[in-house]
Amino acid sequence: MVAPGITGRTRPTKVKKQAAAQKRKRNDVDVEKLEQAVAELDPKNASYKDFTDLPLSEPTKQGLKSSHFAVMTDIQAKAIPLALKGYDILGAAKTGSGKTLSFIIPVLENLYRLQHVGVDAGLGALIISPTRELAIQIFDVLYKLGKHGHMFAAGLVIGGKSLEAEKQALTRMNILVGTPGRVLQHLSQTVGFNVDDLKMLVLDEADRILDMGFQRDVDAIIEYLPKERQTLLFSATQSRKLSDLARLSLQDPEYISVHAEDKTATPKSLQQNYIICPLQEKLDTLWSFIQASKKSKILCFFSTAKEVRFVYESFRHMQPGIPLLHLHGRQKQGSRLDTTAKFSAAKYSCLFATDVAARGLDFPAVDFVIQVDCPEDADTYIHRVGRTARYNRDGRGVLFLAPSEEEGMLKRLEAKNVPIELINVRQKKRQPIKDHLTHMCFKDRALKYLAQKAFITHVKSIYLQKDKETFKLKEYDLEEYSASLGLPGAPRIKFLEKDKVKEKKQASRATIELLGSSGESEDEENGLTEKKAKAVRTKYDRMFERQNRDILADHYKKLIRGRDTDGEPNSGNEGKNTKAVADGNEDDFLAVRRRIPAEADLSDAASDNDDTSITRAQKVVHLQGAAQPLIVDSNRREKLLKSKKKLLKLKDKGRKLVYDDEGNPHEVYELEDENDFKAKGLPEEQRQKYFDVERERVQEADVEDKAAAKAKRKEKMWKRKQRERMEIEEAEDPGVELDDNGEDALANFRADAEFSDESKSDGGKEAQKKKPNKWSQSDSENDHKSKKRKKGKRNVAQHTVEEPRTLEDLEELAAGLLG
Ligand code: ADP
Ligand code: MG
């Protein structure tokens, strides 16, 4: 267990200080030269081919060299010079064409030339990504490029971690990568998170960030940021909506669309096919495909997290002979990160994912992207398929389309210049897995539950799709689909049932209206309608009219049949039915279960109900305090007699009286004696006087209220500051603490640590020796997290790990950039 208050942080030595000063001095010279070179840069010049052609700082050059980046891609050659010169940019280039470096390099360079470094400088650049995985990836690129001498502090805020742990480090950050929700959370909650001097805002996958889902968060973030800043937007599918650009207050942005003239919107090295596959055959086809491609790296997209889980769990049990992975937004952050790392590193693997993996992720060497569920639109298709064939590599995309989706989706894809070809599935090679799944679902209730959820969420996702031309819910065979998941029957779907009832209601209303209007002429002849319309319609009449209710239809029909044939309601079966009602055994549905005797005077009960079709006797109850008597003609009314609360509503409202000193009752508002009123002066004067007195009273009360509110606010702020001060003191206290025996705890601790150096298993002490990580300081209070640290990745802090694996590693790296 780590002793509280001990951070193990040491002050920089004099030598280190001198080295830093020396470096800064060298930078000054460097900066002036760079400024001049950037000023001379001609962004329209197409001769910039290599990174070395650009005026870049030494640390960036080093970073590029160590990552073996030499020749620029098209988007880089066009965007970087403009961005270096401070232009706002809207950059569009195909997936996998190197957009990340197009903004990372300018961020590092522009802040470098401004020497926007150190704790006091505050946040200089904010990079926003739509998903956590992409944010981590961007951070990784930033780290790899920046670690060769840049001294910025960079951080990653993506949610799924303790907010408090991030708060402390944030105040020192110069560059921040994050997701919109978390960034906003910090902007609104973290005291001392200073963005007033922000120089650059970058939105990667900008069209996604600017769309509806993130609108509120992004608008709120923009509110916090200074208007005078450089803004860079990048995406493979860029929206040019003026309203979006206005929201970001872009200043004469430069549009860079390097592939606009290309015939296709997707990479040239990408081969794209689609197959026609009914919903109920998708899993068979997918399974067979995986079986035939075990020596590949496959990424499969589904529309919902529940489907991903079901397919992952069920396929896993069937031992497919290829490592399976799954990724969706409902997983814990740790496993999400773990999965992305595993899939990146894997040679052969199959990852089932939702659209969280659709954008930006750069998994190396993916062979196939299979879109098992049709994407919501052509843009999503382009992004999903863009996970393969990245940076001039080959790749294949296969889209599964249900027959009803084909026409609509192909139209959308054509409009976006996506070349795609139909291929056939070899039916001979298709291995049906339905029986296997049915067996598994039968044996394993958890799996069956997953299958049900997968079914329901999938149907719901189709139901909610905006593109109704492509997604026509009625065209899918849902019974067959549920059977293909191994379910014995299609689960009930509430929203569909509601819709059906609504439709039926509307249909029955429409037929009644139709009957009403079309039958008019006939009925006029025999005067039947008139008679019917005039007759009092009771609850039971209405019930009988509801023929379309499917659940009770048979029963109603039986009852109605008697009425229809004999012309009299239930005359044929009346005796039998009323008997059943009285006995309450044969047909429960109309049985009176409980009869509540009315306490009221029954002599008033209406004796004849000849004009209505009910057999029940009506009772008239005179309620005390009610002007109108209550007619009890139904079960519901009888029940009502039992509820005092409900009866209150039927009673008349009472009168409010005010009593004077002598005990005489008065109305609340009484007219004054006319003469008295006149004696007091003119009405207008009296009015004015009344206003004056009341105004004065309100003003006095207002002053008091404001003072009270101010005091309350002050107290609250004081308390908060006090709390934060204590937290900071706790965190920053170098830890010279005396223990119970009056000894120096830190000295003891260090001595212990030295002794136990060999016993690496003693992770708690080793963790103390690690280079301190500001973000994980507060984690040390958390036992669970400290355990993770105990695993002791000391080498991470020493910058020797090239492939960060856990979130903690990444955060260690973040602090590492402090230099
Ligand atoms: P995008 O954001 O356009 O989809 P990325 O920035 O993720 O693409 O880059 C795709 C891949 O191309 C990455 O693996 C990256 O390392 C590589 N890459 C980018 N720029 C270059 C370059 N100039 N030279 C070589 N590889 C590059
Ligand atoms: Mg990208």
Least confident range from 344-348, 354-358, 748-752: namely 748-752
Q: Which residue has the higher pLDDT, 528 or 620?
A: 620
CA distance 233 to 103: 9
Query: 205 C-alpha to center of ligand 2: Å?
Result: 7
**Going by CA atoms, what residue is nearest to atom 10 of ligand 1?**
96
Tell me the pLDDT tens digit for each residue of 178-224.
999 999 999 998 888 889 999 999 999 999 999 888 989 999 999 99
Can you give the pLDDT at residue 444?
95
pLDDT for residue 11 is more than 60:
no
Tell me the pLDDT tens digit for each residue of 188-197.
988 888 899 9
Confidence class for position 658, pLDDT limits 50, 70, 90: confident
Can you give the pLDDT at residue 370?
98
Whether residue 437 contacts residue 283, with contact meaning beta carbons closer than 8 Å, is answered with: yes
CA distance 256 to 117: 30
**Going by CA atoms, what residue is nearest to atom 19 of ligand 1?**
98
What is the mean predicted confidence (pLDDT) over 297-311?
Answer: 97
Ligand nearest to the CA of 97: 1
pLDDT for residue 124 is more than 90:
yes
C-alpha count within 13 angstroms, C-beta hemisphere, residue 610 = 1
User: Taking the CB of residue 540, how many other CB atoms lie within 10 A of it?
Assistant: 18
Query: 102 C-alpha to center of ligand 2: Å?
Result: 10
What is the mean predicted confidence (pLDDT) over 376-400?
Answer: 96
Confidence class for position 587, pLDDT limits 50, 70, 90: very low
Q: Which residue has the higher pLDDT, 563 or 353?
A: 353
pLDDT for residue 156 is more than 50:
yes
pLDDT for residue 316 is more than 50:
yes
Confidence class for position 527, pLDDT limits 50, 70, 90: very low
Query: 86 C-alpha to center of ligand 1: Å?
Result: 22
Query: 526 C-alpha to center of ligand 2: Å?
Result: 78
What ligand 1 atom has the least distance to the C-alpha of 102?
Answer: 6
What is the mean predicted confidence (pLDDT) over 79-91?
Answer: 95
What ligand 1 atom has the least distance to the C-alpha of 94?
Answer: 3
Can you give the pLDDT at residue 738?
37
Q: Mutate which of 68, 89, 101 to test ligand 1's pocket (most atoms within 8 Å of Cβ)?
A: 101
Which sign, positive or negative, has the C-alpha torsion 89, 90, 92, 95? positive
**In angstroms, what CA-CA distances link 234 with 138, 202, 220, 409?**
13, 8, 20, 26
Least confident range from 87-101, 513-527, 533-547, 607-621: namely 513-527
Q: Could you give the domains of the chain?
A: 28-257 (3.40.50.300), 270-431 (3.40.50.300)
Confidence class for position 664, pLDDT limits 50, 70, 90: confident
**Going by CA atoms, what residue is nearest to atom 1 of ligand 1?**
96
Q: Ligand 1: residues whose CB is within 6 Å?
A: 69, 71-73, 76, 93, 95-101, 360, 362, 390-391
Query: 93 C-alpha to center of ligand 1: Å?
Result: 11
Q: Which residue has the higher pLDDT, 173 or 740?
A: 173
CA distance 731 to 773: 12
pLDDT for residue 108 is more than 60:
yes
The string of DSSP letters for 74-137 reads HHHHHHHHHHHTT--EEEE--TTS-HHHHHHHHHHHHHHHTT--SGGG---EEEE-SSHHHHHH
Can you give the pLDDT at residue 374?
97
Can you give the pLDDT at residue 629?
82
CA distance 84 to 60: 13
**Going by CA atoms, what residue is nearest to atom 18 of ligand 1?**
98
Can you give the pLDDT at residue 740?
41
Confidence class for position 497, pLDDT limits 50, 70, 90: confident
Contacts 24+ apart (CB under 8 A), 162-166: 162/778, 162/779, 162/782, 162/785, 163/189, 164/778, 165/775, 165/776, 165/777, 165/778, 165/779, 166/190, 166/775
User: Residues of the chain with pLDDT > 90: what percent?
Assistant: 49
Query: 354 C-alpha to center of ligand 2: Å?
Result: 18
Query: 434 C-alpha to center of ligand 1: Å?
Result: 42
Three-class SS state of 262: coil
Residue type, 61: K
What ligand 1 atom has the least distance to the C-alpha of 386?
Answer: 4
CA distance 678 to 599: 55
Ligand nearest to the CA of 203: 2
**Going by CA atoms, what residue is nearest to atom 4 of ligand 1?**
96
Q: Which residue has the higher pLDDT, 646 or 269?
A: 269
Nearest CA to 409 out of 482, 479, 465, 457 is that of 465
Least confident range from 382-391, 452-461, 560-569, 767-776: namely 767-776
Give the rounded distance of the alpha carbon of 254 from its chain centre. 32
Element housing 502 (H / E): helix 494-518
Q: Which residues pair with 421 in a beta bridge?
A: 273
pLDDT for residue 286 is more than 70:
yes
Whether residue 440 contacts residue 447, with contact meaning beta carbons closer than 8 Å, is answered with: yes
pLDDT for residue 125 is more than 90:
yes
Can you give the pLDDT at residue 657?
84
Query: 75 C-alpha to center of ligand 2: Å?
Result: 12
What is the mean predicted confidence (pLDDT) over 67-86?
Answer: 96
Which sign, positive or negative, has the C-alpha torsion 443, 444, 450, 456? positive
What ligand 1 atom has the least distance to the C-alpha of 51?
Answer: 23
Confidence class for position 22, pLDDT limits 50, 70, 90: low
Q: Outline where 318-385 has alpha helix (H).
A: 333-345, 378-385
The string of DSSP letters for 433-481 reads -HHHHHHHHHH-HHHHHHHHHHHHHHHHHHHH-S-TTT--GGGS-HHHH
pTM to 2 decimal places: 0.65
Q: Looking at residue 393, what DSSP letter applies?
A: -
Q: Which residue has the higher pLDDT, 383 or 591?
A: 383
CA distance 815 to 152: 9
Ligand nearest to the CA of 363: 1
Mean pLDDT of the chain: 79
Least confident range from 132-146, 208-222, 485-499, 659-673: namely 659-673
Least confident range from 102-106, 402-406, 453-457, 800-804: namely 800-804
Query: 72 C-alpha to center of ligand 1: Å?
Result: 9
Query: 360 C-alpha to center of ligand 2: Å?
Result: 4
**Going by CA atoms, what residue is nearest to atom 27 of ligand 1?**
98
Query: 727 C-alpha to center of ligand 1: Å?
Result: 42
CA distance 628 to 607: 19
Nearest CA to 236 out of 97, 393, 377, 134 is that of 97
**Going by CA atoms, what residue is nearest to atom 20 of ligand 1?**
98
pLDDT for residue 271 is more than 90:
yes
**Going by CA atoms, what residue is nearest to atom 25 of ligand 1?**
69
Q: Which residue has the higher pLDDT, 720 or 391?
A: 391
**In angstroms, what CA-CA distances link 684 with 89, 137, 690, 691, 692?**
67, 75, 10, 11, 12
What ligand 1 atom has the least distance to the C-alpha of 95?
Answer: 4
Tell me the pLDDT tens digit for each residue of 40-50.
988 887 789 99
CA distance 593 to 559: 20
Confidence class for position 623, pLDDT limits 50, 70, 90: confident
CA distance 210 to 218: 7
User: Residues of the chain with pLDDT > 70: what percent?
Assistant: 72
Can you give the pLDDT at residue 515?
58
Q: Mutate which of 145, 390, 803 to test ligand 1's pocket (most atoms within 8 Å of Cβ)?
A: 390
What is the mean predicted confidence (pLDDT) over 107-130?
Answer: 94
Q: Which residue has the higher pLDDT, 750 or 488?
A: 488
Q: Which residue has the higher pLDDT, 744 or 426?
A: 426
Query: 241 C-alpha to center of ligand 2: Å?
Result: 20
Can you give the pLDDT at residue 17?
57
**Going by CA atoms, what residue is nearest to atom 15 of ligand 1?**
98
What ligand 1 atom has the least distance to the C-alpha of 100?
Answer: 6
Q: Mutate which of 72, 133, 391 to test ligand 1's pocket (most atoms within 8 Å of Cβ)?
A: 391
pLDDT for residue 129 is more than 80:
yes
CA distance 138 to 132: 10
Confidence class for position 815, pLDDT limits 50, 70, 90: low
**Going by CA atoms, what residue is nearest to atom 26 of ligand 1?**
69
**Going by CA atoms, what residue is nearest to atom 21 of ligand 1?**
98
Nearest CA to 471 out of 406, 399, 421, 398 is that of 406
- Burial of 76 by CB count in 10 Å (0-12 exposed, 13-18 middle, 19+ buried)? buried
HEC letters along 4-33: CCCCCCCCCCHHHHHHHHHHHHHHHHHHHH
CA distance 390 to 95: 7
Can you give the pLDDT at residue 499?
79
pLDDT for residue 55 is more than 60:
yes
**Going by CA atoms, what residue is nearest to atom 2 of ligand 1?**
99
Ligand nearest to the CA of 134: 2
Most confidently modeled of 301-305, 494-498, 527-531, 658-662? 301-305
What ligand 1 atom has the least distance to the C-alpha of 391?
Answer: 12
pLDDT for residue 321 is more than 90:
yes
**434-443 vs 282-292: helix crossing angle, rounded to 10:** 100
What is the mean predicted confidence (pLDDT) over 98-104?
Answer: 97
Q: Which residue has the higher pLDDT, 296 or 648?
A: 296
Query: 427 C-alpha to center of ligand 1: Å?
Result: 39
Q: Which residues pair with 230 in a beta bridge?
A: 200
Query: 229 C-alpha to center of ligand 1: Å?
Result: 26
Confidence class for position 801, pLDDT limits 50, 70, 90: very low
What is the mean predicted confidence (pLDDT) over 433-456?
Answer: 96
Structure tokens at 426: 């070899």
What ligand 1 atom has the least distance to the C-alpha of 204?
Answer: 2
